[in-house]
Amino acid sequence: MKKLVLFASGAGSNADNIIRHFNKTRTAEVVAVFTNKPDAGVVRIAENHGIEVVVSAKSDLENGSAFADVNRFRPDLIVLAGFLLKFPTDIIRAYPDKIINIHPALLPKYGGKGMYGMNVHNAILQNKDAETGISIHYVNENYDEGAVIFQEKVGVSDCDSPEQIAARVQILEHEHFPLIIEHLLK
Ligand code: GRF
């Protein structure tokens, strides 16, 4: 069975959705969830599913210890689902085209430093954009600049809060992310 390693820093709704998907399809297995935040929602989610949690602090990402931990799991794909720290170069170099990220906007718009979570949705609201969406892309050494694998749009011209935009984007994330992962593993 193909092995997936997830990286997440937040609530973990995408991690939960991915784990549930592969529990059902049995086409791959989530073997570990890495996080830099031991109190993040995603930790409880992984534990509830009986999945090993590896807490990698910023220093562990920088000093090679996260790299060693990842290698232990021999992943076929590494999935960043709301992981907020810079991803380590040693892992990127060792897993070419095997690391993907989901970004809550239509890259290259609203990517780069500081563009995460509500910052993205706020910017979309302020600019009165009529649509936004999701981008699933490869992770390379320049954040948010790896090749785009998949994008999907959603209209937001009637939204008047960033939370409303976030909710629409999250629906797209949950609908598509597991399927794109499955496709990449084939
Ligand atoms: C998602 O919107 C994802 O696109 C972004 O961070 C959010 C994570 O949400 N990179 P969750 O922790 O999966 O609920």
pLDDT digits (tens, 9 = 90+) for 78-90: 999 999 999 999 9
Index of the ligand 1 atom closest to the CA of residue 134: 4
Q: Which pLDDT value is given to residue 144?
A: 76
Euclidean distance between CA atoms 172 and 148, whole angstroms: 16
Provide residues with CB under 6 Å of ligand 1: 8, 10-15, 81-82, 102-104, 116-117, 173
Among the listed residues 103, 121, 137, 176, the single catalytic one is 103
Q: Label residue 142 by pLDDT band (50, 70, 90).
A: confident
Which residue from 115, 86, 113 is spatially nearest to 99, judged by alpha carbons?
86
Helix (H, G, I), strand (E, B) or coil at 52: strand
User: What is the DSSP secondary structure assignment for residue 180, as one 8-state letter?
Assistant: H
Is 103 an annotated catalytic residue?
yes
Task: Please tell me what DSSP assigns to residue 102.
Answer: E
Q: Which two tokens stand for residue 27?
A: 């086409």
Q: Supply the pLDDT for residue 49.
A: 98
Residue whose CA is closest, atom 8 of ligand 1? Answer: 82
**Nearest residue by C-alpha to atom 3 in ligand 1:** 82
pLDDT attached to residue 45: 98
The ligand 1 atom at the shortest distance from the C-alpha of residue 16 is 13
Helix axis angle, 117-126 to 162-185, nearest 10°? 120
Using most ligand atoms within 8 A of CB, pick from 7, 9, 14, 35 the residue to mutate for ligand 1: 14
pTM assigned to the model:
0.97
Average pLDDT, the chain: 96
Nearest to 153 by CA among 183, 133, 167, 179: 133
Please give the structure tokens belonging to residue 94. 């060792």
What's the Cα-to-Cα distance from 56 to each of 10, 104, 117, 148, 166, rounded to whole Å?
14, 24, 21, 27, 27
- Token pair 């995603």 is found at 42
Q: Is the pLDDT of residue 163 over 90?
A: yes
Interval 106-121 mean pLDDT: 93
Query: Using CA of residue 117, residue 122, residue 125, residue 126, what is the dihedral sign?
Result: negative
> Which residue owns the Cα nearest ligand 1 atom 14?
13
Higher pLDDT, 145 or 63: 63
Helix axes 13-25, 162-185, angle to 10 degrees: 30
Torsion over CA: 148, 153, 156, 162 (sign):
negative
Domains belonging to the chain, first-starting first, are 2-117+135-155+173-185 (3.40.50.170)
Residue 8 CA: nearest ligand 1 atom is 12
CA of 72 to the centre of ligand 1 (A): 26
Is 28 in a helix, a strand, or coil? strand
Confidence (pLDDT) at 138: 97
> Which ligand 1 atom minimizes the distance to the CA of 80?
10
Closest to 101 in 3D by CA, of 1, 27, 159, 184: 184
